Amino acid sequence: MRGSAVFGLMLLCSSVYAQAPAAKPAVYTNPKAAIEDRVADLLGRMTLPEKLSILALEAPDSQRLNTPAIPRLGVPSLRTADAPQGVHDGQVTVFPTGITMASTFDPALIMKVGETIGQEARARDRQVIYGPDLNMHRTPQGGRGFESFGEDPFLTATMGVAYVKGMQSQGVAACAKHFVCNDQETGRHDINTVVDDHALHEIYLYPFEAAVKEAHIWTIMDSLGRVNGPWAASSIPLQIDTLKGAWGFDGVIISDWGSVHDTVEAANAGTDIEMPQPQFFSADNLNAALKSGKVTQAVIDEKVRRIIRLMVRTGRLDGTKPLDASVVNSVPHQKLALQVAREGIVLLRNQAKILPLDRARINSIAVIGPNAAVNQLGGRWSADVTPAYSVSILDGIKSKAGGKIKINYAEGTPLTTAAISPIPTEFLTPPDAKPGEHGLRAEYFTNPGLQGAPALTRVDPQINFDWNSNQPAPTVPRENFSTRWTGTLTPTVTGHYTMQLDSDDGSRLFIDDKQIIDYWSGHGTGNVQATGIDLVAGKAYKIRVEQFQGGGGAGCYLGWIAPTPGKEEFTEAIAAAKASDVAVVVVGLSNNIEGEELDPPDLYLPGKQDALIQAVAAANKNTIVVLANGTPILMEKWLSHVPAVVEQWYAGQEAGNAVAEVLFGDTNPSGRLTDTLAARRQDYPDFGNYPGSNGVVKYEEGIYIGYRHFDKKNIAPVYPFGYGLSYTTFAYSALKLPAAVKGGQPTQAQVTVRNTGARAGATVAQLYVHAVSPKTDRPVRELKSFQRVSLEPGAKATLTLPLDTRAFSRYDPTLKKWVADPGIYEIQVGESSRDIRVKGVVKVK
């Protein structure tokens, strides 16, 4: 009886369940539902702890920079990764760096790069890639300049938009960085960038605005430092008023690694996700801010809403499966990397048409230099990508020579020379020295500004101090003190010296009252080198070192690398050069010299590379220099001695093959400079305002960075912006322009380009706008359109060069908007900013 009752109850229950309608699936799980409906539905289902949990990435390890998953709702984590030239996750395709990409002046090609990196990101199950880098090349010493697209905002915007569109077409979020004015690495954690509103909008914000409005980018990363006072991650004018307000950005703002400094300020200023782990955006801190009313629930919900929207856009909520791993470094991807390298290589010099090399007339080639047998892929840290393979220039030349040409290899000199050692006391003499006395006069001040009378004066045998948190002396405080060392330096060997200052905090070095090193900013332990300092044996040079300590640890160290007396240098390299028909010297920089938190100490080739080029050129008149670097190099010590110079920047895993193709003429070079290359460091616009002092860097040049500065000051560069040689020539004609155009309306120009040489080749028609009689201060010319074209010998093409709504506009800081002033504007089209071939005028109404 009892069992029958239970059985009957079971039948009844099953009947009820059978008749009940199936529960509707949650809207957020429906891929066909409208995106905002999905966002609202999931947001409404989340508890406060779940909302707070996704506002910071998980504590990082070697393979994890993810938002936490929400298992209760079936919400997976968002998985992110560096870097802009490839996915920082195992062995992948390593493309040329941003500066090489931009040198192609080929946005269609760079869109394919974005697509390809997006595919490899999906194969690695990554939904967000931290790139592209849209910061400007304000200073030639910017350690991450290799990651970004150059000195011109229009070029940077164009290449950035192409990259973003390509990547996001694959369902992977691009993350433009670093918003904004992260244009140097020295002091980047706390430097306050002071920039006027005019330059901020017209130069530095311009590429980010294009990424938002034209490419509809899904994520943006803020910068580490301060901009006009507030931390970038806590800047309401930048992130709320401009980015999310005026521009309508509906994506996610991710902090840089440690750029959040305050829970309430960053939360209310629009930062959505803290990286690398929950600190200020921890649940405890955010709950406290909510309870105090300093952060509202609406602010939290808006952040979560944006993150959910990103999950929908990347397909993360729909369980999109990773692509097959075979796509990573596949043959099509390798070919694309090679094509970008081919188009991005810039031929700077080709005297007597020494290039291309004729295989039929050459029996031997000397391949020399520290970057010949190793392929430098880029600067250090977050940009690091691991290739499945990498082709050095030595290997590329051997392959293209085909075994018929003898290759004589010699390293010549290491990229970085012997270890820095402290300058021995016997080379230093204090002022008013007693007989036999050596060292430097040291004056210690009880303030960080070298002010007033010193609290202590003594002779220090050498500058080699690690005070840590101890006092330099009982009369000097542990914090907020400064030191000045003076005297003379008398070397015993004539030659090239490298000087290095290590300090915590700032330091600077003067020789004969000329500033050699400027590291005068608040920072932890770090160092700056100055290379290529020519000193004469027996000559006494005035030397002055200044140091300050502003808090925390303290130390100062002055070291050098001195030439070895009596040793004949470059023996193997000279022998290889003499035994060969042609010498190729491959020099440059590496990820030990530039990169994240590492600005190059100066613009000279480090170590003894300048001297190596001189020695090889003296041994072989047919010397070709190949540069592998991410920041400009000063060439005055050797440029006139060599007939050819090839700038490859960092050309990715296929660099060796691409360079060899250019040398042998299998590829006609067509890359164009994204940066003006100056004759002297003093010629660059940031000189005197880099790296800043007392925690502040002033952008006093305003809008005049890059070629804008060189044009305004009438300074002749060694090579101008947009410059690049070819093995053929091009002629320009038939410029067609509208007679008049309404300000703020798009229009176009047409120009005919003809290949007047004997080889097929490509060129870049560059259109610059010049305001003839401006009512306000305007640059002499500004790049506003360009188009790359490939032509067979004798062929011609009519190019259409679009001019967008801002082609004739300037940013008016008073009106806080872009304004096209009525007047006459000259349209200049040519091969570089200093090589204008055709001109015409347009009247703007």
Q: How far apart are CA 655 and CA 96, in angstroms?
A: 8
**Cα dihedral sign for 278, 283, 284, 289?**
positive
> What is the spatial order of strands in the sheet that 761-771 belongs to?
740-741, 835-844, 823-832, 761-771, 782-791
Strands 644-647 and 823-832: unpaired
Answer whether 53's CB lies under 8 Å from 284's CB.
no
Q: What is the DSSP letter of 738?
A: -
Beta strands in 330-417 (DSSP E): 346-350, 364-368, 386-387, 406-410
Q: How far apart are CA 541 and CA 510, in angstroms?
A: 10
Strands 273-275 and 623-628: unpaired
What backbone phi and psi angles, to 5 degrees, belong to 260?
-85, 130
Answer whether 158's CB lies under 8 Å from 209's CB.
no
Rg of the chain over all Cα atoms, to the nearest angstrom: 30
Using the structure block, give the residue that is written with the tokens 């580490």: 224
Q: How far apart are CA 833 and CA 84, in angstroms?
A: 28
Query: Measuring CA to CA, how many Å separate 460 from each of 425, 429, 457, 500, 516?
Result: 9, 10, 9, 18, 21
What backbone phi and psi angles, to 5 degrees, belong to 268?
-75, -15
Burial 561-586 (b: 16+ CB within 10 A, else e): bbbeeeeeebeebbebbeebebbbbb
Q: What is the DSSP letter of 232?
A: G
The pair of three-digit structure tokens given for residue 213, joined into one six-digit string: 């409005």
The upper half-sphere exposure of residue 165, i.e. CA atoms within 13 Å in the direction of its Cβ, equals: 17
Q: Is 256 annotated as catalytic?
A: yes
Instruction: Name the residue among 366, 303, 377, 309 with its Cα closest to residue 337.
Output: 377
Instruction: Name the residue among 360, 404, 543, 553 with its Cα closest to residue 462.
Output: 543
Q: How far apart are CA 233 and CA 239, in angstroms?
A: 8
The pair of three-digit structure tokens given for residue 236, joined into one six-digit string: 């309401």
What backbone phi and psi angles, to 5 degrees, belong to 425?
-60, -30
82, 152, 222, 256: the catalytic one is 256
Answer whether 170's CB lies under 8 Å from 122's CB.
yes
Strands 252-257 and 219-222: parallel
Q: How far apart are CA 413 and CA 428, in angstroms?
A: 29
Q: How far apart are CA 799 and CA 320, in angstroms?
A: 42
**Conformational region of residue 57, where left means phi above 0, alpha means psi within -120 to 50, and beta covers everything else:** beta
Three-class secondary structure of residue 307 per DSSP: helix
The pair of three-digit structure tokens given for residue 273, joined into one six-digit string: 């996700």
Q: How far apart are CA 106 and CA 828, in angstroms?
A: 20
Q: How far apart are CA 550 and CA 140, in angstroms?
A: 28
Could you check whether the bond before residue 153 is cis, i.e. omega within 30 degrees of 0? no
The helix (H) or strand (E) run that includes residue 571 is: helix 571-578
| Beta bridge partners of residue 659, listed in sequence order | none
The pair of three-digit structure tokens given for residue 474, joined into one six-digit string: 């009982």
Q: How far apart are CA 81 and CA 117, in angstroms?
A: 11
Instruction: Name the residue among 240, 242, 224, 220 with its Cα closest to residue 232.
Output: 224
Three-class secondary structure of residue 526 per DSSP: strand
Three-class secondary structure of residue 352 per DSSP: helix
The residues annotated with a catalytic role in the active site are 256
